[in-house]
Amino acid sequence: MGLIEMASGKSIWKGIDYCDKKKVISWECVGAYEYHGLVSGSDGAIYDVHINKEHPKKSTCTCPFAEGRRVVCKHMIALYFTAEPHAKEDFLEEAKRWEAEEEARELEHYHDLEKYVKSLSKSELQDQLLDALIQLEERRNYW
């Protein structure tokens, strides 16, 4: 599993934002798969970040979220995408593809729903509508 696969979506998008805002103050390549860098945090703190692409669990960051835990934080992602801009482009391309697929799935679902509704007789429609309204109301009371 790579750094990206280990990170939460939130960490990835924040990491991209940090990368775009040039929050990575300095970085260097310290091995075939490793980078070390300094990344400025949202509170003005500067975090010491080390990433290992081959063994993501060996990556470290001194921020409160990642310190002492085997997690991938936004500072690691920011460092990774700053050191390897093509990896960021690849990720953004893939995200766009997922979004398009998701939209296509949603559209298909609505078409199926429309087909289903149009296939119902008037009395079936009345029953279904009543059920749906009751469900809506119950949900509203529940929340």
Binding residues (CB under 5 A) for Zn ion: these are 61, 63, 66, 73, 75
Rounded distance between C-alpha atoms, residue 18 and residue 32, angstroms: 24
Rounded distance between C-alpha atoms, residue 121 and residue 113, angstroms: 15
- The distance of closest approach from Cβ of residue 41 to Zn ion in the complex, given in angstroms and rounded to an integer, is 7
DSSP one-letter string for 73-105: -HHHHHHHHHH-HHHHHHHHHHHHHHHHHHHHH
Q: Which is nearer to Zn ion, 63 or 83 (CB)?
A: 63
Rounded distance between C-alpha atoms, residue 58 and residue 72, angstroms: 10
Q: Which is nearer to Zn ion, 69 or 96 (CB)?
A: 69
- The distance of closest approach from Cβ of residue 110 to Zn ion in the complex, given in angstroms and rounded to an integer, is 41
- The distance of closest approach from Cβ of residue 92 to Zn ion in the complex, given in angstroms and rounded to an integer, is 21
Q: Which is nearer to Zn ion, 24 or 61 (CB)?
A: 61
